[in-house]
């Protein structure tokens, strides 16, 4: 069974980069979304369209994730589920989630959600930059090399 790079594709800004790096490492690339994906744009990836509904794509990815796989997502709860399955989890800005860091990431997410709900924060996200894209490519390369090397 080959390694998989599972991409939470609905709002992922690094789909092309993830597919390119996955293929270079002979891993299967899966774009998972609730719809709207044009398969012809990504001929080297497997397109998975899940049913509408909250967390349907996350559930599919979490169920498919296995050790040596990589989950690409900005969704921190999905990253936590990927880690529980033994997969690596990487955000689109190149931030790797680890078993050591996921607890504080989940806490910070809850805190920011509380600030938005109480009106203390407008919830604006920083712009995605070329540096983020470059950091992502480098981080995915390292993760895929690391999972290939003997333990």
Check whether 151 has a pLDDT greater than 60. no
Average pLDDT over residues 52-66: 91
Residue 54's pLDDT is what? 78
**Least confident segment among 18-22, 114-118, 136-140:** 114-118
pLDDT one-digit tens code per residue, 66-123: 999 999 998 889 999 999 999 999 999 999 998 777 666 655 655 566 566 677 666 6
Residue 122's pLDDT is what? 65
Share of the chain above pLDDT 70, in %: 80
Quick one: pLDDT band at residue 7, thresholds 50, 70, 90?
Answer: very high
Question: Could you tell me the domains of the chain?
Answer: 4-148 (3.40.50)
Predicted TM-score (pTM) of this structure: 0.83
Q: What are phi and psi of 35, to 5 degrees?
A: 135, 175
Quick one: pLDDT band at residue 132, thresholds 50, 70, 90?
Answer: very high
Residues 6+ apart with CB under 8 A from 104: none
Q: What is the 3-state secondary structure (H, E, C) of 37-81?
A: CCHHHCCCCEEEECCCCCCHHHHHHHHHCCCCCEEECCCHHHHHH
Residue 123's pLDDT is what? 60
Of residues 100 and 60, the one with the higher pLDDT is 60
């Amino acid at each position: 069974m080959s390694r998989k790079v599972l991409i939470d594709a609905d709002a992922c800004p690094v789909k092309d980069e993830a597919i390119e790096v996955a293929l270079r490492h002979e891993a299967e690339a899966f774009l998972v979304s609730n719809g709207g994906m044009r398969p012809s744009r990504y001929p080297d990836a497997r397109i998975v369209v899940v049913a509408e509904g909250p967390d349907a794509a996350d559930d599919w990815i979490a169920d498919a994730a296995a050790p040596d796989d990589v989950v690409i997502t900005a969704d921190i709860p999905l990253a936590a589920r990927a880690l529980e399955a033994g997969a690596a989890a990487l955000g689109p800005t190149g931030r790797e989630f680890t078993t050591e860091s996921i607890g504080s990431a989940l806490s910070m997410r809850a805190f920011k959600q509380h600030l938005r709900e109480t009106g203390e924060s407008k919830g604006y996200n920083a712009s995605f930059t070329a540096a983020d894209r470059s950091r992502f490519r480098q981080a995915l390369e390292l993760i895929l090399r690391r999972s290939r090397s003997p333990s």
